[in-house]
């Protein structure tokens, strides 16, 4: 569900509506299939889209497949980025 959930939140529906258009924070914990690249895609997609809030806060906890390359990119893309 982890990576799939991030995919769903990263794109508008066929009608052009976004799921949770006012979402400003995103936190994941214990997802084994989330590398961080999916979260970066989510942040960038919502930041570039119209009619949807930009993600400003990201918290990732206990995601052991998190790719170290995305740490810097995520910290630059959002106001608050935390990894636990």
Q: What is the layout of strands, in order, in the sheet containing 25-29?
A: 25-29, 57-61, 80-83
Single pTM value for the model:
0.87
In the predicted model, is pLDDT for residue 42 greater than 70?
Answer: yes
- In sequence order, the β-bridge partners of residue 80 are 57
CA atoms within 13 A of residue 27's CA, in its CB half-sphere: 8
Phi-psi region of 15 (alpha: psi -120 to 50; beta: other; left: phi over 0): alpha
What are the residues whose beta carbons fall under 8 Å from the beta carbon of 50, sequence distance 6 or more? none
Query: Largest alpha-carbon pair distance within the chain?
Result: 37
- Position 30 confidence tier, pLDDT thresholds 50, 70, 90: confident
């Amino acid at each position: 569900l982890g990576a799939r959930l991030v995919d769903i939140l990263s794109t508008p529906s066929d009608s052009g509506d976004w799921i949770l258009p006012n979402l400003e924070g995103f936190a994941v914990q214990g997802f084994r299939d989330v590398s961080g690249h999916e979260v970066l895609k989510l942040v960038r997609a919502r930041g570039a889209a119209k009619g949807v809030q930009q993600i400003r806060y990201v918290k990732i906890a206990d995601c052991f497949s998190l790719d170290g390359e995305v740490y810097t990119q995520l910290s630059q893309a959002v106001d608050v980025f935390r990894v636990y």
